[in-house]
Structure formats: C-alpha cells, structure tokens
Amino acid sequence: MSEGTVETIPWALLAYTIADDDSGATLIDASAKNELTAIFEAADFGQINVAAQIDFKRTPGVFRASLTATPPSRTAVAAKTRDFDDMRAEDHPLWRKIVANVQQSRLRVQMGHTDLNSARASVLQHFLRYGQQECPADRYVVFFYGHSSGPMGLFYDTDARRRVPNTLRLNDLAGSIQAVNGAAVVVFRDCFINTLETACELKNVGEFMIASQSEMPIAGIWPWLPLMTTLLPGARPRDVARSLALQIGSFLDVQANRRPFADAPISLIDLSAAHSVTGPLKALADALEEARRDPVRCRACAKALEGARVGDPIDHSRPGDPALLDVPTLCDNLQVLGSDPVAGPAKALGDAVLGQLVGWHHSQKRRYRGTSIYYKPVTPKDVERSIIESGDSEEAERDALHYRRLALNTATGWDRIALNPLIPVSRGAS
C-alpha cells in the first residue's frame, strides 16, 4: 500500500441517525447521542471503521464523523465535503466525550453549515458516499436510527429555507442505498419498517434486512461491542446478518431494553427472496378484488383481513399500528375459508414469506410472526390511533400517490386492496 492511501477492509459500518420528528418530545436526542457514543467506542475497541451522520432535534446543524483504524488519504483529509467543514472534536460535548475515549483509531468530525433536511434522498446519498470515501470496505452494514411511518417512509425533517417537512420515501431510500457498493446488511432501529413494501424496494440494493414490525423501543443502548465483533474478515453476509439479528433479539428479550413495550419483534429478511412473494400476492390481490362482487365472500374476506391487524400504538402490550397486517396471520385467516378462491394464493404467499423471505424471527408474545403489509384502516378509531395513516386528507392523498408507485404494487396490484379495503356488504346491496 502506497503512502497516503486507504486500505480496503472487509467490513465497515455506516450509521445514519436522525432525531428530528413531528412531535414535541426530545427523548430521542439523548438516546441518539448515547447510541452514537456506544457505536464509536465499540468500533475503536474492535478496530472497525465507522462513518456516521447525526441530525439532532434541538441542536442546530448536522454532524458527520468517521472513525478509522488507518488515517484517510491526505487528499480526503484536506478536502471539504459538500456543505461540511472539518471541526475540532473538543469543541462539541458529544464529540469531546467520544474522542476522550478513543485510544486506537483516528476520529474526524465535520459540521454542516446549515440544518440540512435529512429526510431528503440527496442528503442520505451524500452521506453514504462520504462514508465509503472515509471507510472503504468490501462490505457494509448500513444502520438507520430514527422515526418511521413504515411503508409511507422514514424520518420527518425540513430544509432550513422551507416550512413544509417531508419524509424519506421507500423508493428514495432504496435509490440512496444503491450508491453503496456492497451494502450487505441494512439494519433499522426504526418503527414499523419490516414490511413487504420495504423488502421489495430494497431487493436489488442490499442482501439482508433486520427490522421490526412494531414500534421500536429507544430504551437501552444496543450491545455494539458484540455486534461489532460479528464483522470478521471472511465472514459471509448471511452469517453476519443472522448473528446481528440474534444478538438484537436477545437484547430485546430483557424487559428493561424494550420498555414500555411488552413485545419488540425483530426479523431477519432475506432480500434476495423478495421476488418470491410477488406472484402469490398478485394472485391474492386478484382473488380479493373478485370477492368484492359477492357480498358473502366479501364479508368473510373482510373479516379475515381485519383479524390480521395485530398492533395498536396506544396499547403497550401489543405495540404496532392498525394500518399494518401481519402477513402470516393474514394468510392463515384466509386459508380457513377453505374452498374460497383466496385460500390457494394465501397459502402460497404464506409459504413464500415463512419459507424464503423471513430468515429468522423472534418476538416475546408471538403475536407478530415475521413481516407486515399495509392495509388502510377502515374504522374512525383505527384511523385516529394510527401513526402510519395520516388524518390530514392532503397528506393522506400524497401518501397514497407514493404508495401506488412502490415496487410491490407495480408488480402485484396490492394497492387496489390496500387503499380500498374490503368492507362487509349487506345481502341486499347491488
């Protein structure tokens, strides 16, 4: 290796942490700081290269940092990246604390000039390219931390010069991750993001996804030291992903780490198997659409669909969202209908999800069984309680337009059912 170059390493971590949201709470600020501190300290101990970006809710500006076992090239150190300048770690409390504990690695910190909209695809993409420049590796674990509305997108932020906030849509998320050469495992500490919609968007940009079907607790700091030790030279992405998922699941088994929730489901999704669900789901959507013509079938199918809404954001015993269906539960409910034309596609979908897509799943109460799918709430109570379903008509219309364009829907037509739920029809209706 020539002087002033960076050696490519087997694994590196890219962490994108967004504390901005549309609530008045600031708890996530403190949690994000603690999580980031743990990441850097574990990376230093394990000699794992890390690049991170954090956007606080109450602290102005956006910060980037890289921790590398070998210094970046002279060109990289001297260069100014877009909208960011180098700063002394000692000049900010968070980085001062981190640099004080770094013993083996080099910490480089930058601060953005303006409060960037971290929910924009261009901002995420610029960070991921920065991360690859600072931490060149054969494969990456990409970690997201922040708020999520599941299939409607992640984060909630606004530009300094604009008043209207936005979320990062799933197609924009996928387009941004595509910039990472070797995104082996995508890990979400974000609510509701384990859906068929997410898996289908990420199928061509990552190998595995680790995510939750429900609300993701911010209690506790993930066990980053053992998580980092998983990133061994020569380790296969499948083995790394499974080890990460198992350790996160064990962490969430401790009640203090998932408070105030009784359940914190986590799944390992094999993104290469996302194609296996599209055929059965299309057949199921067609069969459900046909069921609308028959009041008896429509009532039975509607009941089966409603019975797969297993979450409620207000009920900590079953955290989740009424705008989501648990897919294995949905498939079981429809198979009970026996000779109805929906039963066959439901079985095929369930087999694909549990046999191929979900590589591993764990929950404490076993209410959640692997992955979810969007299905618009039909009762005023569910609409009011839903975090995913907007109560604002204009925002809901924008969400619906985005939803129709997702890869899952263009391939299967599921949006015909999801956005226009089956409602039980009286026998006398025409």
**Mean pLDDT taken over the chain:** 89
Residue 368: the pLDDT is 96
Angle 124-179-155 (CA atoms, 0-180°, nearest 5)? 25
Contact 265, 363 (CB under 8 A): yes
Pair 190, 290 in one domain: no
Give the whole-number percent of the chain exceeding pLDDT 90.
71
Tell me 357's DSSP state. I
Pair 285, 264 in one domain: no
| φ, ψ (nearest 5 deg) of residue 54 | -135, 135
Kindly compute the dihedral angle of the four CA atoms of residues 224, 18, 253, 274, in this order, to the nearest 10 degrees.
Answer: -100
Could you report the per-residue pLDDT of 308-318, keeping only the tens digit for each?
999 888 889 88
Residue 25: the pLDDT is 45
Pair 140, 176 in one domain: yes
Residue 116: the pLDDT is 76
Stretch among 1-5, 130-134, 265-269 having the lowest mean pLDDT: 1-5
Stretch among 24-33, 68-77, 100-109, 365-374 having the lowest mean pLDDT: 68-77
The reply to whether 401 falls in a domain is yes
- Would the pLDDT of 58 be above 80? no
Other CB atoms within 10 A of residue 392 CB: 9
Other CB atoms within 10 A of residue 343 CB: 18
Higher per-residue confidence, 113 vs 246? 246
Domain boundary among 216, 243, 274: 274
Stretch among 27-41, 132-146, 332-346, 367-381 having the lowest mean pLDDT: 27-41
Pair 94, 171 in one domain: yes
Domain extent for 344: 276-356+372-418
Domain boundary among 243, 274, 305: 274
Pair 147, 252 in one domain: yes
The reply to whether 320 falls in a domain is yes
Pair 261, 280 in one domain: no
Pair 171, 313 in one domain: no
Residue 163: the pLDDT is 45
Range 181-202 average pLDDT: 96
For 378-386, the CB contacts below 8 A with 24+ separation are: 378/306, 378/421, 378/423, 382/309, 382/322, 382/323, 385/312, 385/313, 385/314, 385/322, 386/313, 386/321, 386/322, 386/323
Could you tell me the pLDDT band of residue 60, with boundaries at 50, 70 and 90? low
Pair 261, 347 in one domain: no
Query: Could you give the CA distance from residue 360 to residue 85 in angstroms, rounded to a whole number?
Result: 42
Pair 350, 264 in one domain: no
Pair 15, 126 in one domain: yes
The reply to whether 265 falls in a domain is yes
The reply to whether 196 falls in a domain is yes
- Give one word for 83, left, alpha or beta, with left for phi > 0 and alpha for psi -120 to 50: left
Question: What is the number of structural domains in the chain?
Answer: 2
Q: Do you find a cis peptide bond into 421, omega within 30 degrees of 0?
A: no
The reply to whether 70 falls in a domain is yes
Could you tell me the pLDDT band of residue 6, with boundaries at 50, 70 and 90? low
Pair 56, 67 in one domain: yes
- Helices 343-352 & 327-335, crossing angle to 10 degrees? 150
Query: Could you give the CA distance from residue 428 to residue 173 in angstroms, rounded to a whole number?
Result: 47
Other CB atoms within 10 A of residue 344 CB: 16
